[in-house]
Amino acid sequence: MEFSITTLVLFVLLATSIGIAQSADIPISKFGGVVNSDITQALTNAWNEACQSTSPSKIIIPKGSYRMKAVDLKGPCKAPIEVYTDGTILAPPNPKDLNNEWQWVKFEYVDYLTLSGSGVFDGQGATAWKQNDCGKNPNCARLSMNFGFNFVKHSVVRTITSKDSKNFNVNVLGCQNFTFDGFRINNPGTSINTDGIHMGRSTDVKILNTVIATGDDCISIGDGSVHTTIFNVKCGPGHGISVGSLGKFTTENPVEDLLVKNVVFTGTQNGLRIKTWPSAPGTSPITGIHYEDITMNNVMNPVIIDQEYCPWNQCNKQSPSKIKISKVTFKNIKGTSGTQAGVSLICSSGVPCEEVTLSNVDLTYNGAPATAVCKNANPIIQGKAPQCTAAPAA
């Protein structure tokens, strides 16, 4: 993926242009949505009015605290819509009060959506985290995410905060030309399964100028993610930026053209990670992955390819991953590792990694240069970077 400052400026200008046309204001107070009230119906009614309008609309939620149950804000709509909030919107603390909805605030089949303002969407997830036993119970209760963006095109989320989601903070599915700019995610590191932004089957997703603190992956890139840009992001606490996990299903699509640039990881479990399942049927490749200008501040596993990913002993490693990983570049990676092996490239014996480049990778562990361990990978070394040693037998 080619990248330049000019390209980034064009991204931001395009995102900013959404909703610039003069819009008609629709305050939620028009439908009885006032401070310290439940605005579930008020927001739904405001959305329905905006969606039927043939000219741009701006739904306004002013400062103050509001309660809200699950909402499904669905298109297609006849003109661009902006949802602007400066308020704090609270989900029910008890997960059961969301009636098993997979996503608390859901936008579907919408083009030219803007979600903006200084507002906070607070999932009040503490009760849910205590109930989460999905690591050991395959039939665990389904917990709600804060946001779902499903089949949304040419849209932007700007300066909003997602707080304390019960599950993933954001899920992006089937979207095109979708931008997060100045977005914030705020969950404690102890919160379970609270990925920041997860995406799949989407094209041209851009995550810019965003700060993510959470208890799982800051950003997770699922199958079918193509032309993804992550620029100027801060991650921590959390589990880093992950491609995968992939390979469980034969219906998965390839992951192609990912750029991660100018990112700072602080105190995270992982930094840059690609993970695939062994003994699994999926074969869709991962290719064209570029990481550049990355800072690691006490990251346990700064650079890691793991094609033997098998958490909670949910699988076995009797047969290798079938997913081919190729054309992966780690360039200008610096900082401190929490483990001696700052670089770990554990690739598949069935389809070894190809064209993996370590270029100016300068990591230290306890003041000494961090090492690299490799398995079924022979990386290209450019500039200063650790030489591979064989990974220990599993």
- Catalytic positions: 239
What is the chain's alpha carbon radius of gyration, rounded to the nearest angstrom?
Answer: 21
**Sheet of 388-390, strand order:** 71-74, 103-108, 145-150, 170-173, 197-200, 219-221, 241-246, 270-276, 301-306, 341-346, 371-375, 388-390
Query: By the 8 A CB rule, do 275 and 318 touch?
Result: no
Query: By the 8 A CB rule, do 234 and 299 touch?
Result: no
Classify each residue of 102-116 as buried b or exposed e, where b means 16 or more C-beta atoms within 10 Å of its C-beta. ebbbbbbebbbbbbb
* DSSP 8-state assignment for residue 384: S
Cβ within 8 Å of residue 350, ≥6 positions away: 319, 320, 321, 322
Residue-wise DSSP of 333-368: EEEEESSSEEEEEE--SSS--EEEEEEEEEEEETTE
> Quick count: other Cβ atoms within 10 Å of Cβ 137?
9
CA dihedral angle for residue 137, residue 142, residue 144, residue 147, rounded to 10 degrees:
90
Cβ within 8 Å of residue 17, ≥6 positions away: none
- The neighbouring-strand residues paired with 66 are 89
Closest by alpha carbon to 197, among 173, 172, 163?
A: 172
Map 267-316 to HEC letters: CCCEEEEEEECCCCCCCCCEEEEEEEEEEEEEECEEEEEECCCCHHHCCC
Torsions phi, psi for 384 (to 5 deg): -85, 120
Q: Whole-angstrom Cα distance, residue 346 to residue 389? A: 11
